[in-house]
Chains A and B, each alone.
Chain A
Amino acid sequence: MYISVNWLRDFVDWTGSSSELDDLFTCAGVKVEDIQEKGAEFPSIVVAQILESGRHPNADRLSVCQVDDGSGQPRQIVCGAKNYRVGDKVPLALPGAILPGGLKIKVGKLRGAESEGMLCSSKELGLADDAEGLLILPKEAPVGKPLSQVYPKDTVFELEITPNRPDWLSHLGLAREVAAFSARRLHPANIEVPGISKADDGIVSVQATDLCPFYSLRRIRDVKVAPSPQWLSDRLTAAGLRPINNIVDITNYVMLELGQPLHAFDAGKVHGGIVVRHARPGEDFPALDGNKYQLSAGDLAIADSDAPIALAGVMGGEESGVTDSTTDVLLESAYFEPASVRRSARLHSLHSESSYRFERGVDPSVVLVASARATRLIEEIAGGRGDEKVTTAGALPAPPGAVILRLSRCRMLLGANLSAKEIRDALVRLGLAPMAENEDSVEWKIPSHRRDLAREADLIEEVARVIGIEKIPSRIAASPARPGEADAVYDFRSAVREQLRALGLSEARTSTLVSEKLLWGNAAPWRLRNPVGEDQAFLRTSLLPGLIAALQRNIRHGARSIALYEVGRTFHQEESEERETLAMTLHGETVSRNWRGGEVRGFDWHDAKGIVEVLAPVPLSCVREQGDSYLALSAAVFAGEKRVAMLGQLAPGFARALDATKPVIVAELSLDTLRMLQRTPTFHDIPKFPQVVRDIAVVCPISLPYGDIERELWKANEVLLAKVEAFDVYTDPSGKILPTDRKSIAISLTFRARERTLESQEVNAACERLKQQLKAGLAVDFR
């Protein structure tokens, strides 16, 4: 919302600077978006009228003019512009004037002709960045008077008004706040409200009383519709509105001044009386914006005997609008139910300054005041006579209820030892009045424009706001809190992130809300009822789609080594739960090319498995499983019976679509499960006696999983066996050393005894037993 400081001064004695006003607004809670200084002092620049204009005898491009500068004597000026006519009023810079650019004006000869001053363009005056020719002033500009009367110095503030303070949507409302926060005097708008006559059905009939509790209409006869006077259109322009004609402008002016939207109908175009009713479904309504709307049953229509003439609170109709031919005006000022106006505005996507204010709630006590004010302005500016009485229907909403404030509670919540007087003064400054008082509490009467103050907490907030939050002393009031479950979860999450960072992965953050195409797999997702857009309509069921998208983006930027992880929430409709999840994706070179030479290895499945082993330091087993369709390889990782993770590799077609040239490895884990697996390590005695290592080479079918071999070895329950580790896999595609369908796995077996050194024969025997176990259980050979 744009406000003019000059206009504000109609209501409050503000004399401070723009930056002081900026600070005041900010401290009061009004957000200042922009400040624009307008106009200027223009010393020695006056309004002049061109009396004569003739060709310059010695210069084709120049003219010699005689202008009236208000002194009685014509003044000769040489001028280069071509855009004026005799009779126009233009700015005249008198000798001695200094223009904003620094140019000093003096009497002189231009190409042989005397020039006793200079006629100015808006650019030369600093009013515009560019100008073609002279600035032609409005017809009513007073000749001889200083230009600053036509372009008065003013400052326009652009403010962002929060929804909880609809009373700030007017100059009067903001002036009240300025007065409260600067202890300057407020001049209330002393406007006399005329006598009220209760409506008879001939003039106004309200049928939808729930949506329109109160309606008023004033007839003003014999008006002369014309452009508004300069001061009025200047103020409207400063506030961001376009001047149209004096009647419409006055309704807008009063709205910006007092906060009550008004509407003027051409009485000659209204047939019969006015009816305020629900619209009939499908009823046609041609609005002032040039569009035709089809009303619905939920819309509130202001209608005459034929058709709707306004969409209540939103916009007036085209046919009944005020035009040059209007002679009698019907001035509407009403209280419309906020939700109803909001609904209609939303439904038709039709928003106006009027609907904006009605939606947030106008001040009922201003409804008739605004009508009286506008009537008086119309009488003064457009001629015309307002009828003696204003016709009303219904009743204004009741005044707000009183609120009791306890001093002790105020001090306790604010944490400041404020005196009863300080608290009282703060609220009185806002227009509240103390009614009943006792030891600790005061009952406050709430002014009509502060219906947002409904309970004690609201008043306490206001006390803090007026006194200034920065005035509340700081102190340390802390006590140690016991660590809880939430802390354990948080600490574990931080530890996991640290570990992964240390392992060389980078942390990614992707969006919790996703589009349908980022929902992979079969899990049923939660869909939002009112998403901002289709690309944020679902709660994610997995972190992987988002991570893969990030992977793709990085590939596109030329990244050769990508290792990303994310810790975040996933949402599962079937189990009705939110799960803390960890996911990773790996692709490309494990390390960058370096001078040590050699082929750089790419990430593969085992790298992911290795990371999972770091995160879950317990015995793990992997089981192949049929994954979702986007995976070529998928395995579940178990710690005993508990499922810990999913590891997988993207299907080649899928990976190609991402421009991935190497395998894309993915993993997803439940953080909660991971946390449950954490154990505080306990000490195991370090073996006092040496270990013995024996290597065996197992020849088996290529398809036999290594896991089976290892499981079989442990099944033997060999007491002396301490560790099993595969360290080589050998295949021979030529078939010369090994058949093409076999592989040879080199396994190192570690033996030890707790209480003694092992003898060679014992180890050999144990080794043999293990080999027998493998032969019997899996039908393998050795070499």
Chain B
Amino acid sequence: RRGDRAYDPEEVTGFAFGFGLDRLAMNLGHIPDIRMLVENDLRFLKQF
């Protein structure tokens, strides 16, 4: 109806959600500082 190729909400329904995988990993791994996930220190990497 709008004239573009987007899904028509009358035809298609679904879920959209964003998950912070970093924070989930921090929770599971009891990692205290989010920066550790991008510093790539081997002393950290080797624990996982």
Report whether chain A binds chain B: yes
Residue-wise, chain A 23-44 has the 8 Å CB interface mask toward B (1 for contact) of: 0000000000000000000000
Say whether B13 contacts A564, CB under 8 Å. Answer: no
CB-CB under 8 A from A562, the residues of chain B are 42
CB-CB under 8 A from B9, the residues of chain A are 457
Decide yes or no whether B24 CB sits under 8 A from chain A: no
Decide yes or no whether B38 CB sits under 8 A from chain A: yes
Say whether B43 contacts A508, CB under 8 Å. Answer: no
Say whether A509 contacts B37, CB under 8 Å. Answer: yes
Residue-wise, chain B 22-33 has the 8 Å CB interface mask toward A (1 for contact) of: 000000000000
Which parts of A507-544 form the interface with B (CB within 8 Å)?
507-511
Chain B residue at minimum C-beta to C-beta distance from A563: B42
Say whether A509 contacts B40, CB under 8 Å. Answer: yes
Say whether A553 contacts B38, CB under 8 Å. Answer: no
Say whether B38 contacts A554, CB under 8 Å. Answer: no
Say whether B42 contacts A554, CB under 8 Å. Answer: yes
Which parts of A411-436 form the interface with B (CB within 8 Å)?
412-413
Residue-wise, chain A 50-73 has the 8 Å CB interface mask toward B (1 for contact) of: 000000000000000000000000
Report Cα–Cα, A457/B46, bound state, in Å: 47
Interface extent on A, as a size class? 10 to 19
A567 to chain B, nearest CB (A): 13
A80 to chain B, nearest CB (A): 47
Residue-wise, chain A 298-313 has the 8 Å CB interface mask toward B (1 for contact) of: 0000000000000000
The listed residue with most A CB atoms (<10 A of its CB), out of B13, B41, B42, B43, is: B42
A412 to chain B, nearest CB (A): 8
Report Cα–Cα, A110/B41, bound state, in Å: 67
A215 to chain B, nearest CB (A): 37
Say whether B37 contacts A557, CB under 8 Å. Answer: no
CB-CB under 8 A from A412, the residues of chain B are 13
Decide yes or no whether B45 CB sits under 8 A from chain A: yes
Decide yes or no whether B39 CB sits under 8 A from chain A: yes
Which parts of A431-458 form the interface with B (CB within 8 Å)?
457
Say whether B39 contacts A550, CB under 8 Å. Answer: yes
Classify the secondary structure of B's interface with A. helix
Report Cα–Cα, A537/B38, bound state, in Å: 17
Q: Which one of B37, B41, B46 contacts A553 once the chains associate, using CB atoms below 8 Å?
A: B41
Say whether A554 contacts B41, CB under 8 Å. Answer: yes
Residue-wise, chain A 539-571 has the 8 Å CB interface mask toward B (1 for contact) of: 000000001001001100101001010000000
Say whether B42 contacts A506, CB under 8 Å. Answer: yes
A29 to chain B, nearest CB (A): 16
Report Cα–Cα, A547/B42, bound state, in Å: 12
Say whether B45 contacts A508, CB under 8 Å. Answer: yes
Residue-wise, chain A 225-260 has the 8 Å CB interface mask toward B (1 for contact) of: 000000000000000000000000000000000000
Say whether B13 contacts A553, CB under 8 Å. Answer: no
Say whether A559 contacts B42, CB under 8 Å. Answer: yes
Q: Which one of B38, B41, B46 contacts A511 once the chains associate, using CB atoms below 8 Å?
A: B38
Say whether B42 contacts A413, CB under 8 Å. Answer: no
A592 to chain B, nearest CB (A): 12
Report Cα–Cα, A655/B39, bound state, in Å: 20
CB-CB under 8 A from B41, the residues of chain A are 553-554, 557
A441 to chain B, nearest CB (A): 14
Q: Which one of A413, A506, A510 contacts B46 once the chains associate, using CB atoms below 8 Å?
A: A506
Say whether A550 contacts B40, CB under 8 Å. Answer: yes
CB-CB under 8 A from B38, the residues of chain A are 509-511
B39 to chain A, nearest CB (A): 7
Say whether B43 contacts A564, CB under 8 Å. Answer: no
B45 to chain A, nearest CB (A): 4
Chain B residue at minimum C-beta to C-beta distance from A511: B38
B7 to chain A, nearest CB (A): 14
Report Cα–Cα, A511/B38, bound state, in Å: 7
Say whether B40 contacts A510, CB under 8 Å. Answer: yes
The listed residue with most A CB atoms (<10 A of its CB), out of B9, B13, B41, B46, is: B41
CB-CB under 8 A from A510, the residues of chain B are 38, 40
CB-CB under 8 A from A511, the residues of chain B are 38
CB-CB under 8 A from A457, the residues of chain B are 9
Say whether B40 contacts A508, CB under 8 Å. Answer: yes
Say whether B40 contacts A553, CB under 8 Å. Answer: yes
Q: Which one of B13, B37, B40 contacts A554 once the chains associate, using CB atoms below 8 Å?
A: B40
Report Cα–Cα, A507/B40, bound state, in Å: 8
A552 to chain B, nearest CB (A): 10
Report Cα–Cα, A480/B27, bound state, in Å: 30
Which parts of A756-782 form the interface with B (CB within 8 Å)?
none
Residue-wise, chain A 449-474 has the 8 Å CB interface mask toward B (1 for contact) of: 00000000100000000000000000
The listed residue with most A CB atoms (<10 A of its CB), out of B13, B43, B45, is: B45
CB-CB under 8 A from A557, the residues of chain B are 41-43
Report Cα–Cα, A25/B43, bound state, in Å: 42
A278 to chain B, nearest CB (A): 35
Which parts of A376-422 form the interface with B (CB within 8 Å)?
412-413
CB-CB under 8 A from A559, the residues of chain B are 42-43
Say whether A553 contacts B45, CB under 8 Å. Answer: no
Say whether A507 contacts B43, CB under 8 Å. Answer: no
Q: Which one of A413, A507, A553 contacts B39 once the chains associate, using CB atoms below 8 Å?
A: A553
Report Cα–Cα, A564/B37, bound state, in Å: 14
Chain A residue at minimum C-beta to C-beta distance from B9: A457
A615 to chain B, nearest CB (A): 20
Chain B residue at minimum C-beta to C-beta distance from A412: B13
CB-CB under 8 A from A508, the residues of chain B are 40, 45
The listed residue with most A CB atoms (<10 A of its CB), out of B13, B38, B40, B41, is: B40
B22 to chain A, nearest CB (A): 9
B16 to chain A, nearest CB (A): 12
Chain B residue at minimum C-beta to C-beta distance from A413: B13
Report Cα–Cα, A507/B46, bound state, in Å: 9
A243 to chain B, nearest CB (A): 40
Report Cα–Cα, A723/B23, bound state, in Å: 52
A262 to chain B, nearest CB (A): 39
CB-CB under 8 A from B45, the residues of chain A are 506-508, 564
CB-CB under 8 A from A564, the residues of chain B are 40, 42, 45
CB-CB under 8 A from B46, the residues of chain A are 506
CB-CB under 8 A from A413, the residues of chain B are 13
Report Cα–Cα, A566/B33, bound state, in Å: 21
A533 to chain B, nearest CB (A): 15
Chain B residue at minimum C-beta to C-beta distance from A456: B9
CB-CB under 8 A from B37, the residues of chain A are 509
A550 to chain B, nearest CB (A): 4
Report Cα–Cα, A678/B37, bound state, in Å: 31
Report Cα–Cα, A457/B13, bound state, in Å: 12
Report Cα–Cα, A562/B38, bound state, in Å: 16
Chain A residue at minimum C-beta to C-beta distance from B44: A506
Report Cα–Cα, A508/B37, bound state, in Å: 8
CB-CB under 8 A from B42, the residues of chain A are 506, 554, 557, 559, 562, 564
8 residue pairs, one from A and one from B, having the closest CB atoms: A550-B40, A508-B40, A506-B45, A554-B42, A559-B42, A509-B38, A506-B42, A511-B38
Pull 7 A–B residue pairs with CB atoms less than 8 Å apart, ordered by A: A413-B13, A457-B9, A547-B40, A553-B40, A553-B41, A554-B40, A554-B42
Query: Assuming A506-B45, A557-B43, what are 19 further A-B pairs, CB within 8 angstroms?
Result: A412-B13, A413-B13, A506-B46, A507-B45, A509-B38, A509-B40, A547-B40, A550-B39, A550-B40, A553-B39, A553-B40, A554-B40, A554-B41, A554-B42, A559-B43, A562-B42, A564-B40, A564-B42, A564-B45
Binding site for A on B (CB under 8 A): 9, 13, 37-43, 45-46
Binding site for B on A (CB under 8 A): 412-413, 457, 506-511, 547, 550, 553-554, 557, 559, 562, 564
